[in-house]
Amino acid sequence: MKFLILLLFSLLSCVGYAQDILTIHGYAPKLKDGTLIYLEPIYPRRFSDQQTKETEEIRKNGSFVVKNGMFRSKMKVRNGEMFTISMNRGKSEWLCLSPGKIVIRIPDTSLLKIEIDSNKTALEYKFYNNSKSKIYRDFTEAKQNWITSMATRDIPLINKKKQLYDSLKTIVVGHSMIESRKWILEHPGSFINASLLYNNQKSMADAEVKKMFLSFPKSVKNNRYGDDLQYMVDSLLIGAYAPNFIQSDSSGRLVSLKSFKGKYVFIDFWASWCIPCRAENPHVVMAMNKFSSKNFTTISISLDSKKEAWVHAIKQDGLNWTQLSDLKEFKNEVAVKYNISSIPDNFLVDPDGRIIGKKLDGQQLLKLLDQLIK
């Protein structure tokens, strides 16, 4: 009996492991033997260090080596994991994969006509992207034209290209949010849903993000984006307890968020080189002048890399409150913990440590503090 129980446990373990395995069959009849193909994972912002480590390893030896027009492999994945596939570090395509099997055909010497088959998640992701309107292609082209124009140093031309890019970006963000909502509602069990929600959550209200995520079946959350969305629901959305952090101030003294419990705390992410951030600083100065004696304070987290520039900006703007930085720019440990991908950005925390405001401009901050602090 003991032997049978052990055997059953072993079989169940094997089944569980097999459910995580993706078998890859690749066909590339026009590629030379020895051609390297790279399948690199895409991680949410908070796991950027892990992505860098894995990517560096893959770039040393590639993921697959073409031999006799074919490549084969097995890998462990969860439901709806995101990857890029490329050859010789050239143009890449995005793939959303899940366990089972996938057939990848590369009919020519590039990825322009890559064909995907036999993996439902990959096919759903491809269908979702192919169904997008022409505006997305125009946006991609406008972005590339803007980037290319910078090399000319022709300021009027650069500004013109940037204006087109910005106008299309606004439209694309709106379209993307609408289309992702529609897909998720119509395909509640699709494994691409976590990545869609994650990529659009900054354009959505926190309450909607939380409600949508909590409606997902457990299987849809079983990927890196699901992990990060769960963290956001628990720690970064309105109503959650703000994650504690400890970082050095400009004199080297360690400061923790917990030490300010009992006060309203404005956590402000900025940098000396960030023009919009510097434009908001006078409003924060006004808030501190008006409310610092009434249970309110500010903690500024700088995404600078040079201490001299950081300290100079503090003095120049009159920022007489707690100033923290590890001088790692966007790899700042607090910025990563708070999922900061652009600045200015901020969180307002109440005396109990709960997040009650996010992405507030100066006027919004002053108005909200007027309501909260009598």
Query: Sign of the CA dihedral 179, 183, 186, 188?
Result: negative
Q: Which stretches of the chain score pLDDT less than 70?
A: 1-18, 89-90, 133
Pairing mode of beta strands 70-76, 100-105: unpaired
In this predicted structure, what is the pLDDT of residue 5?
Answer: 39
Q: Which two tokens stand for residue 310?
A: 């950081």
Please name the residues in contact with 292: beta carbons below 8 A apart, sequence gap of 6 or more.
321
Alpha-carbon gap, residue 327 to 104, rounded angstroms? 43
> Which residue in this structure is represented by tokens 């790899």?
331
pTM: predicted TM-score of the whole model, two decimal places: 0.82
For the chain, the three-class secondary structure string (H helix, E strand, C coil) is CHHHHHHHHHHHHHHHHHCCEEEEEEECCCCCCCCEEEEEECCCHHHHHHHHHHHHHHHHHCCEECECCEEEEEEECCCCEEEEEEECCCCEEEEEECCEEEEEECCCCCCCCCEEECCHHHHHHHHHHHCCCHHHHHHHHHHHHHHHHHHHCCHHHHHHHHHHHHHHHHHHHHHHHHHHHHHHHHCCCCCCHHHHHHHHHHHCCHHHHHHHHHHCCCCCCCCHHHHHHHHHHHHCCCCCECCCCEEEECCCCEEEHHHHCCCEEEEEEECCCCHHHHHHHHHHHHHHHHHCCCCEEEEEEECCCCHHHHHHHHHHHCCCCEEECCCCHHHCHHHHHCCCCCCCEEEEECCCCEEEEECCCHHHHHHHHHHHCC
| Helix-helix angle 155-186:134-149, to 10 degrees | 150
Nearest to 337 by CA among 267, 260, 239: 267
- Cα 23 off chain centre by: 27
Nearest to 224 by CA among 46, 53, 95, 100: 46
pLDDT (tens digit per residue) in 16-29: 435 789 999 999 99
- In the chain, what are the domains? 21-118 (2.60.40), 134-235 (no CATH), 246-372 (3.40.30.10)
In this predicted structure, what is the pLDDT of residue 22?
Answer: 94
Specify burial of residue 182 (Cβ count, 10 A radius: 0-12, 13-18, 19+). Answer: exposed
> Which residue in this structure is represented by tokens 């494994």?
191
Alpha-carbon gap, residue 268 to 349, rounded angstroms? 11
- Cα 149 off chain centre by: 27
In this predicted structure, what is the pLDDT of residue 122?
Answer: 95
In this predicted structure, what is the pLDDT of residue 23?
Answer: 95
Please name the residues in contact with 188: beta carbons below 8 A apart, sequence gap of 6 or more.
215, 216, 217, 220
Contact 125, 85 (CB under 8 A): no
